[in-house]
Amino acid sequence: MSQGIPEIRASAQLLARYREPDNARGILELAITAIPFVVIWALIWAALDQGYWFALLLEVPAAGLLVRLFMIQHDCGHGSFFRGRLANDWVGRALGVMTLTPYGYWRRNHAGHHANSGNLDQRGLGDIDTLTTREFLGRSRWRRTLYRLYRHPLVMFGVGPSYLFILKHRLPVGMMGRGWKPWLSTMGTNIALAVLVVTMIQLVGYGPFLLVHLPIIVLAASIGVWLFYVQHQFEHTHWAHDETWNFHDAALHGSSHYQLPGVLRWFTANIGVHHIHHLSSRIPYYRLQDVLRDNPQFAGVGRITLLQSLRTVRLTLWDEERQRLVSFGEAALFGKGAKLV
């Protein structure tokens, strides 16, 4: 049974003491992530002469470190990595070039996700597209097919992430008519990215650059989308319409506690403690585990293990009557034999 709204609000206030960033800790976290990434990148390039399959083994930790750099950028966007806004913004912008993610554009988009997560009447900004069973069953055969394709694992975690980071982020999609700032963010990132890519090609060559960097980008993008997916797409997540939606309830019960092994927690910068992050997004990722240690009542809320997370892939539709995510097969049964493609 979920906590009442007053209790959840009190819990959010309890978290305020964890919100103060530590500049020295931030510098250390940045250093122990960026420096190993550069070193491993160079090792992969050097290993190309020894055989590409050996080099590919090093792509995995490199992709993990790139995911961690994205998480640092993510905290910068929330103003929680360093104490000063200037440091957060410029580190975030620099990392945005490495992660192919325009910092200012993404920050505004992500703020919309935090403000409306779990609101059925405010879907579409920074979220995984999710239909209700009623909406899906009411669509044409063609539109149901498109949604099925979108939610297919090969698209959701394969082709889709690469398209998102490599192509879609090159334009301020969704904010193209909202003034010059989204354009400045995306175009500035594109220019800096072009300079970086040309410089690297000059240093190592066109072919070696692609052989080293493209697998890192593709793997890191898929990992990033998987993390975002499982943080909100679990069976007993929380969705509600405007009239009953509440920020604190949606934050605590609409976001998972993805309990990962220690090594994976490090590479993902504790983003699995997502319910706490949504309750108080100003808490630096390096303090999220402190919250769970000091407040064990949060540990079991929305808890999903690594094995359990694999089962979330089949959950594709929100059933408003049962208040949980269901599969396409379950939707067909609930729809009393509705013929699905």
Tens-digit pLDDT string for the chain (341 aa): 345 545 666 666 789 899 999 999 999 999 999 999 999 999 999 999 887 888 889 999 999 999 999 999 999 999 999 999 999 999 999 999 999 999 999 999 999 999 999 999 998 777 899 999 999 999 999 999 999 999 999 999 999 999 999 999 999 988 888 889 999 999 999 999 999 999 999 999 999 999 999 999 999 999 999 999 999 999 999 999 999 999 988 998 999 999 999 999 999 999 999 999 999 999 999 999 999 999 998 999 999 999 999 999 999 999 999 999 999 999 887 665 444 44
Pair of tokens at residue 230 = 């499982």
Q: Residues 6 or more apart from 258 whose CB is under 8 A from it?
A: 227, 230, 231, 271, 272, 273, 274, 304, 309
Residue 77: per-residue pLDDT: 98
Q: How far is CA 161 from the centre of its chain?
A: 11
Angstrom distance (rounded) from CA 153 to CA 42: 32
Pairing mode, strands 131-132 and 257-259: unpaired
Pair of tokens at residue 23 = 């500049």
Residue 14: CB atoms within 10 A of its CB come to 16
- Rounded to two decimals, what is the model's pTM? 0.93
Residue 324: per-residue pLDDT: 95
Please list, residue by residue across 200-238, b when 16 or more beta carbons sit within 10 angstroms of its beta carbon and e when fewer do: beeebeeebbebbbebbbbbbbbbbbbbbbbbbbbeebb
Distances (CA, A) of 302 to 19, 225, 259, 325: 22, 19, 10, 14
- Least Cα distance to 232 among 274, 279, 284, 285 occurs for 274
**What stretch of H or E contains 58?**
helix 52-77
Q: What residues does each domain of the chain span?
A: 5-334
**DSSP string of 64-75, one letter each residue:** HHHHHHHHHHHH
Residue 340: per-residue pLDDT: 47
Residue 135: CB atoms within 10 A of its CB come to 15
